[in-house]
Amino acid sequence: MKQPFEPVNDLERTLVAALQNQIPVATFVQTLLSATVYVLTDKDSQAGGVWDHGATPMVLADAKKTPFLALFTAPERADAWSKRQTTFGFGRSTDFAGLLKGMAPEQGIVINPGLPAGFEMQPATVAQLRAQAR
């Protein structure tokens, strides 16, 4: 039996509220735009926490082979994935808005994949969000 999802930060509280229809999904998305998210990568951050542009983030695919950048609302939410996908044994917290700008145009986003409180954005929605964030 899965354990209940207990939010550990404001981003998670907003996500849970949106999933339970207590707030509009758009409110969660606006919170996400100013949030810090956690990304698993195949390389450790350089000294000082600078993003290594040679690092590859974990990307998952759906049944249609659409790529989705996997993001997590807190580092502990990524634990199971870093054990399952050992290639992506490193992670870092990063600004979502900055990450959004650097994403490949054909990628969607999956937040907290496999967890009870997760969220998915199709590539077209991500592209719209990127255009709005400029």
Give 30-67 pLDDT, tens digit per residue. Answer: 999 999 999 999 988 755 556 667 789 999 999 999 99
Joined tokens for residue 7:
């939010």
Higher-pLDDT residue of 110 and 51 is: 110
Question: DSSP characters for 77-117?
Answer: GGHHHHHHSGGG-EEEEEEHHHHHHHS-TT-EEEESTTSSS
